């Protein structure tokens, strides 16, 4: 890091409009007086953290790099170009994000080319400064932490600016007492809203009671039900999928947990619920094949083999476009990486863009976690389970998390998975091991844990050639 060096002292206009002392980074006179906020000291900032964020973005901005998932994790902190104190960093941030949004790599070379195209490369210190930022990164994986430092400094500057507005208005003669109070209230509200981790006192039960009664009336009158799993008996036992809760679906390999989860995702989406299906195992094409097979009653192997579709089959596929898929609020996400951060960032993007009511993760043991020294694989998988539970609460959505089972019927690699779930369902097929079973074609959905009702076993029919399970009454 070259504190006080030429790269940090590039004479550009500061990202925030401060009239800082002449020796402040990016400071100096000449700004419109109406936009200045005067300081007796250098405004809060951390240029090393800013360089580290920019460097981490440039190191992880290409899908070909192993660390590319850190780019999304950094942006998931909420950092924007306006949070940087030094304008050069804001300019680089925008260019990198624009390239990434366009599906292009965003490294030191491509960002330099983009800044050249925009006529902004010289303003940020030229190509060498991009490499200075890259070299300033202790660890790209810590990019989100550096971003939080930058955001915290930006918030402090916003607090100072708001306080300065109050002081200047109070010194002035404009406005009456009500207007002064209104401005003070507005500025203080804005400041408090930006404080991370500041909470109001929890409500008392007396305040909760009437909301509870209204909610109870809706439940008893059938006006409030959870999202459907797509199976009548399962919905009746569990009351459907409730927001802020997790359903864990466990099964041995090849039994049909992905089929069950995809059927449930489509069933919920057909009611108008917004759904994201994140598959770490199957490609988007494979998922589409399964949905088309189930909804069109087209044999799955006809969709996956050359010449398998008849003219009637083709007509069925074409009809599903405008009839189902054009309006189905279901998003299929195959992350470039496989970290919980990737999935969480995509889920938050869905929540911002139309909402998110159901998230499906297929499956837990494939989610990558950073295993620090002394952390077992069981503890690592448990951290993913807790992360999904926290995400369900944060986004107020339901999560279906699939899990492999060991030969002894326990959740593979972590028994803690069951603790984070509100509902635990094991998928069992009697004919999976016994082809001559008298219950051939049946599937048991064994509800081992149910916070909303009793445990039970719901039997459905397997139509695996159509990649679907259906209620027994539909067979």
86-133, pLDDT tens digit by residue?
Answer: 999 999 999 999 998 887 889 999 999 999 999 999 999 999 999 999
Is 290 among the domain residues? yes
Contact present, 437 and 431 (Cβ < 8 Å): yes
User: Which alpha helices (H) appear in 241-310, and where do they start and end?
Assistant: 257-270, 284-296, 300-304
pLDDT higher than 70, residue 326: yes
At residue 362 the predicted structure's pLDDT band, cuts being 50, 70 and 90, is: confident
Give me the pLDDT at residue 269, please.
94
Which CATH number does the domain housing residue 153 bear?
Answer: 1.10.860.10
The structure's pTM equals 0.60
Better pLDDT: 270 or 41: 270
Domain co-membership, 325 together with 181? no
Domain co-membership, 165 together with 265? no
pLDDT in tens, 286-312: 999 999 999 989 889 888 888 888 889
Number of folded domains that form the chain: 2
Mean pLDDT computed over 150-159:
90
Domain co-membership, 171 together with 275? no
Mean pLDDT computed over 323-344:
84
At residue 441 the predicted structure's pLDDT band, cuts being 50, 70 and 90, is: confident
pLDDT higher than 90, residue 41: no
At residue 394 the predicted structure's pLDDT band, cuts being 50, 70 and 90, is: confident
Domain co-membership, 263 together with 151? no
CA dihedral 275, 345, 90, 60 (to 10 degrees): -130
pLDDT in tens, 49-60: 999 999 999 988
Is 206 among the domain residues? no
User: In this structure, what are the phi and psi dihedrals at residue 248, rounded to the nearest 5 degrees?
Assistant: -100, 125
Contact present, 72 and 348 (Cβ < 8 Å): no
Mean pLDDT computed over 407-422:
72
Give me the pLDDT at residue 119, please.
94
pLDDT in tens, 444-458: 999 999 998 899 999
Domain co-membership, 259 together with 175? no
Is 217 among the domain residues? no
Q: Which of 193, 208, 224 is the last residue of a domain?
A: 193
pLDDT higher than 50, residue 358: yes
Domain co-membership, 444 together with 349? yes
10 Å CB burial of residue 28 (0-12, 13-18, 19+) is middle
As a whole number of angstroms, the distance between CA 280 and CA 285 comes to 13
Give me the pLDDT at residue 32, please.
38
At residue 134 the predicted structure's pLDDT band, cuts being 50, 70 and 90, is: very high
Is 345 among the domain residues? yes
Domain co-membership, 148 together with 271? no
Is 68 among the domain residues? yes
CA dist 427 to 43, 142, 375, 402, 415, Å?
59, 39, 30, 11, 17
**First-residue to last-residue Cα distance in the chain:** 70
Give me the pLDDT at residue 3, please.
40
Which CATH number does the domain housing residue 270 bear?
Answer: 3.40.50.300
* Angle ∠(376,380,385) on CA atoms, nearest 5: 145
User: 63-72, 321-330, 433-442: which has the highest mean pLDDT?
Assistant: 321-330
Instruction: Name beta bridge partners: 339.
Output: 368
| Least confident window among 264-268, 313-317, 377-381 | 377-381
Mean pLDDT computed over 309-335:
89
Is 201 among the domain residues? no
Please count the other Cβ atoms lying within 10 Å of the Cβ belonging to residue 257: 23
Domain co-membership, 182 together with 263? no
Give me the pLDDT at residue 372, please.
58
Strands (E), 367-434: 398-404, 423-428
pLDDT in tens, 185-242: 777 766 666 554 444 567 788 888 888 888 888 878 877 778 999 999 999 999 899 9
pLDDT higher than 90, residue 348: no
Bond from prior residue into 363 cis (ω within 30 degrees of 0): yes
Domain co-membership, 49 together with 168? yes
Is 56 among the domain residues? yes
Q: Which domain holds residue 297?
A: 232-474
Domain co-membership, 132 together with 32? yes
Give me the pLDDT at residue 127, please.
94
Mean pLDDT computed over 41-51:
91
At residue 178 the predicted structure's pLDDT band, cuts being 50, 70 and 90, is: low
Better pLDDT: 34 or 188: 188
Any residues with CB less than 8 A from the CB of 19 and at least 6 apart, and which?
27, 29, 31, 36, 37, 38, 39
Six-digit token string for 332: 């299929």
As a whole number of angstroms, the distance between CA 106 and CA 168 comes to 43
Domain co-membership, 309 together with 365? yes
pLDDT higher than 90, residue 425: yes
As a whole number of angstroms, the distance between CA 406 and CA 224 comes to 37
Is 219 among the domain residues? no
How does the average pLDDT of the chain come out, rounded? 82
pLDDT in tens, 70-79: 888 898 888 9
Domain co-membership, 79 together with 146? yes
Give me the pLDDT at residue 150, please.
95
Mean pLDDT computed over 237-266:
92
As a whole number of angstroms, the distance between CA 171 and CA 454 comes to 67
């Amino acid at each position: 890091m070259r504190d006080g060096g030429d790269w940090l002292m590039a004479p550009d206009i500061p990202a925030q409009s401060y009239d800082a002392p002449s020796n402040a980074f990016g400071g100096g006179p000449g700004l419109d007086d109406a936009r200045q906020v005067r300081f007796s000291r250098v405004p809060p900032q951390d240029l090393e953290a800013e360089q580290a964020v920019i460097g981490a973005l440039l190191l992880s901005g290409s899908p070909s790099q192993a660390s590319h998932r850190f780019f999304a994790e950094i942006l998931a902190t909420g950092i924007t170009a306006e949070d940087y104190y030094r304008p050069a960093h804001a300019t680089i941030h925008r260019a990198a994000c624009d390239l990434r949004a366009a599906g292009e790599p965003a490294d030191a070379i491509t960002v330099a080319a983009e800044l050249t195209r925009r006529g902004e490369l010289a303003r940020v210190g030229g190509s060498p400064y991009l490499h200075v930022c890259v070299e300033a990164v202790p660890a790209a994986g810590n990019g989100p932490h550096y971003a939080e430092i930058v955001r915290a400094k930006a918030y402090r500057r916003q607090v100072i600016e708001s306080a300065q507005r109050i002081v200047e208005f109070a010194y002035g003669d404009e406005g009456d007492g009500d207007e002064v109070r209104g401005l003070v209230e507005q500025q203080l509200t804005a400041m408090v809203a930006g404080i991370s981790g500041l909470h109001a006192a929890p409500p008392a039960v007396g305040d909760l009671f009437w909301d509870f009664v209204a909610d109870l009336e809706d439940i008893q009158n059938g006006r409030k039900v959870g999202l459907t799993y797509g199976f009548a008996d399962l919905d009746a036992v569990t009351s459907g999928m409730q927001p802020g809760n997790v359903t864990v679906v466990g099964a041995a390999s090849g039994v049909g947990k992905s089929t069950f989860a995809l059927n449930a995702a489509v069933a919920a989406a057909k009611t108008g619920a917004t759904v994201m299906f994140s598959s770490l195992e199957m490609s988007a094409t494979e998922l589409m094949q399964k949905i088309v097979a189930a909804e069109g009653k087209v044999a799955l192997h006809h969709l996956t083999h050359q010449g398998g579709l008849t003219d009637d089959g083709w007509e069925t596929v074409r009809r599903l476009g405008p009839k189902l898929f054009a309006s189905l609020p279901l998003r299929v996400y195959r992350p470039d990486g496989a970290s919980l951060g990737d999935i969480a960032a995509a889920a938050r993007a869905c929540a911002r863009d139309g909402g998110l009511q159901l998230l499906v993760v297929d499956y837990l043991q494939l989610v990558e976690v950073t295993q620090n020294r002394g952390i077992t694989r069981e503890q690592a998988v448990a951290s993913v389970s807790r992360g999904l539970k926290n995400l369900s609460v944060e986004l107020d959505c339901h999560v279906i998390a699939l899990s492999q089972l060991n030969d002894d019927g326990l959740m593979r690699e972590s028994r803690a998975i069951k603790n984070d779930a509100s509902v635990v369902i094991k998928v069992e097929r009697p004919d999976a091991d016994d082809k001559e079973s008298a219950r051939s074609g049946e599937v048991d959905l064994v509800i081992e844990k149910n916070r909303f009702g009793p445990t039970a076993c719901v039997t459905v029919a397997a139509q695996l050639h159509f990649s679907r399970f259906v209620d027994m009454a539909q067979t």
